[in-house]
Amino acid sequence: MILFTHHTGEPHGILGAQIAATYFTKRLHIPSIVVGITRAFSQSRLSEFLDEYYKNRERIIGFSHLCGRKDIIEFIGTLRNMGFSVILGGPQASQDYYGEEDTEYYPMRFKGLNKVVDLALKGPVDDVNHELLRTKHGCFEFPWRRDIFLNVDWSNLFVFSERLERLEVQLGQVLSSIGCPYAKARCSVTLDPPAFLQDRDLRIDIVSHGCTFCDVSKDKGFHGHVGTQSLMSQIRVLPIGEDERSIPFELIDEYPIVPLRSLLDSVDEAGIRLSQVNLVCRVDDILSHERVLHDTARIAREKGLKIMLASIGFESFSDTILRNFNKGITVEDIVKCVGILRRLKEEFGETFLYRRDEGANHGFIHPTPWDDAETLPEMNRNIVIHRLFEDVLPEHSTPLIIHHASYLGDWIREIEARTEIRFTRDGTWIEWWNPVRPEQPAGL
């Protein structure tokens, strides 16, 4: 079986899809590979390849991590017409299968993929069996637990643009935390109206577990850490680079600093040599564990490995927007965090990486619905005063993406319910920048 997923074409792994393919191969004895579809792929050539690949084989195919791509969603329909049974797994599988509510009253809303997807699977792959795959209809949800299947065959990844090409993974991933601990807290968030709305008093309360824009926290929540033994099992099978060390990998954990410090002791005892560990983390983890991070950088220097803060969730440099994102931090917190990073860089040099020109790409979401005459000057002022453009500001910001299954999706639907404004959809995304008023065509 082939599992399709979104991929940039760069030499990084896709952990969830590769775990699923490894599970199908080893546990269910269904030989499976992962094929990452680049944005410039040829649908006709991919269709031709699949016709040949599935000759004399049962036409069952899987998809994971659609990344909101309408071209992939359209291709699923093409495959159905070619006689394929389609399985959807990964993040937001059930939400994308069912779509948004009340589509009969709001025709612009995303109607779901249940007309083109035969089987949707939410949760870990561990409970999938041959009987379920033969069901070929419906949506099934499985509970998360700490002892999930995490074996990975790092050689099972390919990409497709014009033809199938094997991808040699140079950056792997290791799962430490199932979901985000910040998503444990239930918050009632009062969101400001979007800047274009004339009714400035339309403040809407929503419930959010974690950041309001995060569809993953709403989909998965938090289910604990996998444990040292599982972490070590994952690290042992990472490919070995030319320097006889494990290839660089991302430690998947939104609060990775304390787990990384413990992990370094474990790999030392096991005689494993690491080259670089990338961290994607929150600002409050750095603020709370400055001493631990300093100690970790010191040990890393002694062992000849690098620690990269590859992506820190700053997201905005306006307190108003940070509040609407429910980030749980302030601009003052961000400034303190950047000060810590700069001091560690000065002390540990090439051992400690965090800068944009070192390959890091930190979170900066812009534009947003709340950009106005107050938030924009505030944000620009903070960027200049604290010299954020020197090291942490990415070359390009990321426009706010509202997935229909995120908490901000709830906000948009509430605006639609309380006003006559409607928002267009693009695949699984809500185009918040494209409000449609009564008797006004989309885009005006």
pLDDT digits over 132-183, tens only? 988 778 999 999 999 999 999 999 999 999 999 999 999 999 999 999 999 9
* Residue reference for tokens 């089987």: 119
pLDDT band, very low/low/confident/very high, at 68 (cuts 50, 70, 90): confident
pLDDT digits over 365-422, tens only? 999 999 999 999 999 999 999 999 999 999 999 999 999 999 999 999 999 999 999 9
What pLDDT sits at residue 280? 97
User: Can you count the helices (H) and strands (E) in the chain?
Assistant: 14, 20
State the chain's mean pLDDT as an integer: 95
Residue 322 pLDDT exceeds 90: yes
What pLDDT sits at residue 199? 87
**Distance from C-alpha of 370 to C-alpha of 368, rounded to nearest angstrom:** 5
**Distance from C-alpha of 110 to C-alpha of 99, rounded to nearest angstrom:** 5
Q: In 27-173, which ranges are continuous DSSP H helix?
A: 43-53, 70-81, 93-98, 130-135
- Tokens for 207, please give them: 């419930």
Residue 358 pLDDT exceeds 70: yes
Element at 5 (helix H, strand E): strand 2-6
pLDDT digits over 101-114, tens only? 999 999 999 999 99
Burial 346-360 (b: 16+ CB within 10 A, else e): eebeebbbbbeeeeb
What pLDDT sits at residue 296? 98
Phi, psi (deg, nearest 5) at residue 411? -65, -45
Angstrom distances, CA of residue 101 to CA of 66, 107, 253, 310, 382:
20, 10, 32, 37, 40
**Distance from C-alpha of 182 to C-alpha of 159, rounded to nearest angstrom:** 33
What pLDDT sits at residue 118? 95
Residue 444 pLDDT exceeds 50: no
Residue 440 pLDDT exceeds 70: no
pLDDT band, very low/low/confident/very high, at 441 (cuts 50, 70, 90): low
pLDDT digits over 185-228, tens only? 899 999 999 999 988 899 999 999 999 999 888 889 999 999 99
What share of the chain has pLDDT > 90, as a percent?
Answer: 93
Task: Report pTM.
Answer: 0.94
What pLDDT sits at residue 442? 56
- Tokens for 198, please give them: 């004339």
What pLDDT sits at residue 439? 65
- Tokens for 173, please give them: 């991933």
